[in-house]
Amino acid sequence: MTAQATTELLASVARAQTLLQRAGHGKLDAAIEKALALVGTAFNADRAYVFQTRDQVFIDNTHEWCADGVASFKGELQQIPYNVGEVMWTAFEAHGAMLLPDITMIPVGTELRQALAMQGIDALIAVPIFQGSVSAGFLGLDFCNGPRRFSSVDQQLLQGLAATLSLGMQAEIQSRKAGGLQAELRAVNERLRAMLRVAPELLLEFDADGVIVAFHHNAPLGPELDPTEMIGRPPEAVFPAHAARIIRLALQQAKTAGASEALRYALLSDGQDKRFTVHAMVRKAGVAGAGAGFLLVLRDVTQSHLQDQHIRQLVRVADLSTNLIFLMDAEQRITWMNPASVSHSGVALRDAIGTYPSDVLGLSESDPEAAELISRALDRGEDVEQDVRALSRAGQPYWVRLTVKKLCDVGNEAEAFMIVGINITRAKLAEARALQERAYTMDALREGIALVQPDGHFIYINSFLRSFLKLPADVPTQALSWHDITPPQFNALLTEALPELYAEGSWQGELDLPDDTDTGRCFEMSIAAQEDGNFLFIARDVTARKNAMREQTLLREQLQIAQSRQLVAQLASGLAHDVANTLAVIAQVLETVKLSQDGPGALAIGRIEAAVAQAQTLVRDLSQLGRRNAQPSVIDLRPLVRQAADLLRPGLRSGARLTLDLPDDPVEIRGDATSVMQVLLNLLLNARDSLCVGSDATRRITARARPCMVPDPAPGMRVGYLLPGQSYALLEISDTGEGMTPARVDAMFNPYFSTKGKDGIGLGLSIVADIVVTALGGIAVQSQPGRGTTLQVYWPCPHAQPERDASALPATPALRGRTILLVDDDDIALQHMAQALSAAGAEVASCITPADALDALGADPEGWELVVTDMDMGLMSGVELGRKLRKIRADLPIVLVTGGDIGQTVASDRGKEFAFVLRKPVSETALVAVTLDCLLRRAY
C-alpha cells in the first residue's frame, strides 16, 4: 500500500472515530452507520458491519453498510447461535483480531464456512468490541472479490475504531440509565405531589429549633394560608395554644425516637368541632439540600372520628339491646355477638367466635330443617327472614324470629353477614294456646275440619276427619299432603272446584263416596281461602239427610208413575181396543180380497197385510202400555230394514228412489224389534219428506247397515255417546234432500220441533232419540243446506253391552289448551302421566332426559305453562333441573314427583323452585288436580 493510500485510510478512520465521539444521547446508531460507510469505502470492502452478542447465546447483526451492487444479509443474520463464531472468539482471545485472507483456510463443512460461503465472502477481517472485560460483539469487513492480504496497520486501525465504538456504546448505556432514573424520579415526585394535592393535610418543615421553614397546604383542611404568616415562626405564633403544645410534643418525640406517635387535638372551626392528628419525624441534613430538622403532618380526621364515634354508639346500642345480634364473616362464622345472644343461648362470646349461629342456637337438634334453609339461602346470596325453634345450652327451648342480611363491599360482594333475632317465645306460646283451644273446639264437632297450606301440606286435621280418612294418630299432620290421603273422587271434584275457588275465594259442593253400604256416604263440603294464604276445609256428613230426601223423592216418583201408568193404561186400552177392532175388520176383508187377486194386486195386498200386522203389533204394545216393559232380544237388523223400506216405497214421490245396502252376514243387535222399526220408519219418512223436486238421478234415499268397531277416541255424537273399542251396528240413512242449517240440526231432536208446518207434530225424532239413548247407542248427523242429510245410528251389539255411569259422561276437559312439559327417564311413567294429562285436554310434550327439557324450554321459554319432572334421573336430579329451568324462565311453575322423603329431599327448595311436590305413586286424578291448581294459582 502506498504512503498516500495509507494516509487516506488513516484520515477516514479518524473521521469515523470523530463521528462516534461526538454522537450525543440517542444519536449513536446514526453515527455508527456513517462510520461504517467511511471505513468500508476506505478499505475498499464490500461490507462493513457491527455484530452484538446477547448474553453469549445469540449474535445479531445490528448495523451494516454495503457497497453498490452487494447484497445485504442483515435480515438473515439475526439470532445466530453464539457457538457458530467459536473460531472468531478463539482468534480474538489469542490475537486480538481475526484475519482471514482466504475462507478456504476454514475447514469445509463447519457452520462458519457455510455461513461465509452463503454470503459470497472470500476474505474478512474482524476485531472484538469489549464492554469492560467482556466481549460484547465485533466490528468486521467482508471482501467478496477474491482473497485479500491484511497488514498489521489494518488490524490496528480497526482495533482503534472498535475501542472508540466501545466507549460510545458504554456512554450511550450510561446515558440511558441516567435518563431512566431521572424519569423514575420524576414519576415518583409526581405521584407524591398528587398524593399531597388530594390529601386533607398540612405538611410543615421545621428547622432544628422548631421554626417553620416551609409548608404545603390543601384546601380541604381550611382556608388558604399566607406564607408570610407561617414561614420563620414557631408553632406558638401560628396555632392555638393547645394545638401548639401538641405540635411541640410531637417534635420532641421525633427528636428522641426519630418519629412521634399519632397525637390528636380538637379545634372549633367555623362553628364545627373538628379533630386533627399530628405526626412528626426527623429530617436528616443533606436531604434536598436542606439542613437537619423535622417534617410534621397535620391531618383532618373529623370524618373518621365521627365514624368511630358512630361505631362506638352502635356497639353500645347492640350491647344494651334485648334482641339477639350476631356478626359473621364471609364464611358465615361468628365474629361477635351481643350480651343478649349470650344470655339467651348460654354460650360465652369466646366460645362462640369461629362457630356457626346454628350451633349457638342449637338448631341442628331443635330445628334442622330451618338451619338447612338458612344456610342454602345464604349460599345463594339471599337475605332470610325465618322463625326458628332454638335450644339453649341448658336445654331450654325458645322461639326466635331471625333476620339475616348480607353486608357487601364496594364491589357488591358479600364480605360479612349480620343476624338480628327477636325473641317471639311468648307470641308462639299464645298462638299455640289459641290453636290448642281451637283444636279442642274443632275436635268436638261432628264435622271434618282441616287447614291446608298452598303447597298441599296439612297444618291441622281434626279427629273426625282423621277417623274418616283412617289416619293413624301417631302420623304427624305436617307430614301429610292432601293428594296422598284424599279419595280419587275428591281429586276429580277438586279439578272442577279450583277455578271458582281462586276466582271467588271460596267454593261449596257435594261429594258422594262409596263405602260398605249400598247408598255410600255423601258430604257437603266448603273450601275458603284465608288471609295468610292457607285454605280452610270443612266437610259435613249429610248422608242421613240425603238418604231421607232420596227416599222421599223415590216415593213421590213412584206415586206419580203409578198414577200416570194407571191413566195411560186406561186411555191406551180403550184406544187399542177400538183400533184393534178396526184392524181386525181390515184383515178379514184383505183375506177375502186376497183370494181373488193375483200378480201386482196380490203383491199390493201382501204389503197391506204386512202394514196391518205391524199396526196390530203396535196396538198390542199400546194395550200393554203402563203394564209391562218390552224385553230386548238379539235380532238381525237386515229384515227390519227391508220391511221398513217396503212400507216406505209406496209413499215415494214419482222419480224418487230408495236403495238398500245390506251385507250378506247378519247384523245383530240387542233390542226390541218394534222400537227398532219405529226408529227406521221415522228416519225414512223424514228422508222422504226432505227430497226436493229435481231429476230422478238426484232424488234418492239410501239405507245401509253394517257392523263397526268404534275407534279411540270415539267420534262425537249428536245424541248419546259411544265407548271406544266397543262393537256397534251402524244404521245409516242418507238422502239428497234440501238439507238443514246448523240451527235446525241443533234443534231437530227437541220435542215438538218440526219443519213440516201443520203436517208434523215434532215428536218423531224425539221418540227416536229416546229409543236410541235407552239402548245405550248414539246418533250422528251430517247435513248441509242444499246437499242432503245423513243420520248414523249406532246400536250396541249383543256381545258388547257397555255399562254406563255418570262418571263416564264426557265433560269439558279441565286442562284444555294448556301446554305442559313432562320430564322422566322412566318411559312407562312418562306415558302414564302423558295419557292422564292429555285426557284432561292438555297439550303434552315428553322428554326422556333433563337435557332435552332444557333444550325444549330454551327454544321456546314462553311456549310452556308448566313443567312436571321426576326427582331421580341419573346424573341430574329434579332439583338441579328445576334450578336450571328457573334460570331460563324465572316464573315457570314446576311440579316435582318423587318417591323419596319430601321433607329430607327438597324441603328447603320447595318454596323456591317448585310450585308443588307429589309423592309417588301419583293417581291420575291427583296429577290433573295438582296441575290445574298450580296453573290457576299463578293466574290469580
In the chain, the amino acid numbered 429 is L
720 bridge partner residues: 778
Sequence-distant (6+) residues with CB within 8 A of 173 are none
C-alpha to C-alpha distance for 383 and 533, rounded to whole angstroms? 22
What mean pLDDT comes out for the span 198-217? 78
Q: Which sign, positive or negative, has the C-alpha torsion 239, 244, 248, 251?
A: negative
Would you state the pLDDT for residue 628? 42
- H/E stretch holding 374 reads helix 368-379
Locate all alpha helices (DSSP H) within 130-200, ordered by sequence: 152-198
C-alpha to C-alpha distance for 435 and 449, rounded to whole angstroms? 13
Q: Which residue has the higher pLDDT, 670 or 602?
A: 670
Q: What is the dihedral of CA 302, 305, 306, 310, to 10 degrees?
A: 170
Would you state the pLDDT for residue 485? 74
Task: Look at residue 776 and tell me whether its pLDDT is greater than 60.
Answer: yes
Would you state the pLDDT for residue 4? 74
C-alpha to C-alpha distance for 222 and 201, rounded to whole angstroms? 10
Task: Look at residue 135 and tell me whether its pLDDT is greater than 60.
Answer: yes
Cβ proximity of 527 and 539 under 8 Å: no
Strand 633-636 and strand 668-671: pairing? Answer: antiparallel
Sequence-distant (6+) residues with CB within 8 A of 308 are none
Instruction: Give long-range contacts, CB 8 A cutoff, 24+ apart: 904-913.
Output: 905/871, 905/879, 906/871, 906/879, 907/369, 907/372, 907/373, 908/369, 908/372, 908/373, 908/376, 909/376, 909/879, 909/882, 910/455, 911/455, 912/886, 913/879, 913/882, 913/883, 913/886
Predicted confidence band of residue 752 (pLDDT cuts 50, 70, 90): low
Predicted confidence band of residue 443 (pLDDT cuts 50, 70, 90): confident
Would you state the pLDDT for residue 578? 61
Residues of 4-43 as b/e, b for ≥16 C-beta within 10 angstroms? Answer: eeeeebeebbeebbebbeebeeeebeebbeebbbbbbebb
- Give the pLDDT confidence of 300-319 residue by residue, as tens digits: 888 888 888 888 888 888 88
Residue 700: which of 662, 659, 732 has the closest Cα? 659
C-alpha to C-alpha distance for 360 and 334, rounded to whole angstroms? 9
The CA-to-CA distance between both ends of the chain, in Å, stands at 113
For the ranges 13-27, 279-293, 767-781, 895-909, the lowest mean pLDDT is seen at: 895-909
3-class SS of residue 751: coil
In the chain, the amino acid numbered 139 is L
Q: What is the dihedral of CA 883, 884, 885, 890, to 10 degrees?
A: 60
What mean pLDDT comes out for the span 862-891? 89
Q: What is the dihedral of CA 853, 856, 862, 863, to 10 degrees?
A: -110
- Phi-psi category of residue 487: left, alpha or beta, with phi > 0 → left and psi -120 to 50 → alpha: beta
Would you state the pLDDT for residue 470? 79
Q: What is the pTM of this model?
A: 0.34
Would you state the pLDDT for residue 910? 42
Locate all alpha helices (DSSP H) within 43-151, ordered by sequence: 86-95, 111-118
Would you state the pLDDT for residue 627? 47
Residues of 530-568 as b/e, b for ≥16 C-beta within 10 angstroms? Answer: eeeebbbbbbbbbbeebeeeeeeeeeeeeeeeeeeeeee
Task: Look at residue 273 and tell me whether its pLDDT is greater than 90.
Answer: no
Task: Look at residue 811 and tell me whether its pLDDT is greater than 70.
Answer: no
What mean pLDDT comes out for the span 453-478? 80
For the ranges 146-160, 627-641, 684-698, 721-735, the lowest mean pLDDT is seen at: 684-698
Calculate what percentage of the chain has a pLDDT beyond 90. 17
Residue 536: which of 459, 445, 638 has the closest Cα? 459
Q: Which residue has the higher pLDDT, 287 or 315?
A: 315
The DSSP result for 718-730, as a single string, is SEE---TT-EEEE
Query: Can you point out the beta strands (E) in 747-885?
Result: 778-783, 789-796, 819-823, 843-847, 866-870
Would you state the pLDDT for residue 518? 65
Q: How many CB atoms sit inside 10 A of residue 803's CB?
A: 7
Out of 497-511, 560-574, 924-938, the most confident range is: 497-511
Q: Which residue has the higher pLDDT, 804 or 737?
A: 737
C-alpha to C-alpha distance for 888 and 863, rounded to whole angstroms? 12
Task: Look at residue 364 and tell me whether its pLDDT is greater than 80.
Answer: yes
Would you state the pLDDT for residue 472? 80
Task: Look at residue 47 and tell me whether its pLDDT is greater than 80.
Answer: yes
Task: Look at residue 804 and tell me whether its pLDDT is greater than 60.
Answer: no
With 0-12 / 13-18 / 19 or more C-beta atoms within 10 angstroms meaning exposed / middle / buried, residue 506 is middle
For the ranges 5-19, 358-372, 586-600, the lowest mean pLDDT is seen at: 586-600
Task: Look at residue 737 and tell me whether its pLDDT is greater than 50.
Answer: yes
Would you state the pLDDT for residue 376? 84
Task: Look at residue 500 and tell me whether its pLDDT is greater than 70.
Answer: yes
With 0-12 / 13-18 / 19 or more C-beta atoms within 10 angstroms meaning exposed / middle / buried, residue 469 is middle
Residue 925: which of 810, 803, 809, 815 has the closest Cα? 815
The x, y and z cell numbers of residue 113, run together, are: 464456512
Would you state the pLDDT for residue 253? 92
Would you state the pLDDT for residue 122? 92
Would you state the pLDDT for residue 706? 93
Q: Across all residues in the chain, what is the average pLDDT? A: 80
What mean pLDDT comes out for the span 43-64? 83
What DSSP state is assigned to residue 103? G
Would you state the pLDDT for residue 725? 80
C-alpha to C-alpha distance for 671 and 797, rounded to whole angstroms? 9
Would you state the pLDDT for residue 573? 53
Q: Which sign, positive or negative, has the C-alpha torsion 231, 234, 238, 242?
A: positive
Would you state the pLDDT for residue 337? 92
- Give the pLDDT confidence of 241-257 residue by residue, as tens digits: 888 999 999 999 999 99
In the chain, the amino acid numbered 551 is E
Would you state the pLDDT for residue 805? 40
Predicted confidence band of residue 353 (pLDDT cuts 50, 70, 90): very high
- Give the pLDDT confidence of 699-736 residue by residue, as tens digits: 889 999 999 988 877 787 887 767 778 889 999 999 98
C-alpha to C-alpha distance for 877 and 824, rounded to whole angstroms? 10
What mean pLDDT comes out for the span 811-819? 78
Cis bond leading into 713, ω under 30°? yes
Would you state the pLDDT for residue 198? 44
Cβ proximity of 839 and 812 under 8 Å: no
Strand 80-81 and strand 916-919: pairing? Answer: unpaired
Q: Which residue has the higher pLDDT, 521 or 141?
A: 141
Would you state the pLDDT for residue 342? 92
Task: Look at residue 408 and tell me whether its pLDDT is greater than 60.
Answer: yes
3-class SS of residue 383: coil
137 bridge partner residues: 52, 129
- Give the pLDDT confidence of 587-624 residue by residue, as tens digits: 767 777 776 767 677 777 777 877 877 776 776 666 55
Predicted confidence band of residue 561 (pLDDT cuts 50, 70, 90): very low
3-class SS of residue 25: coil
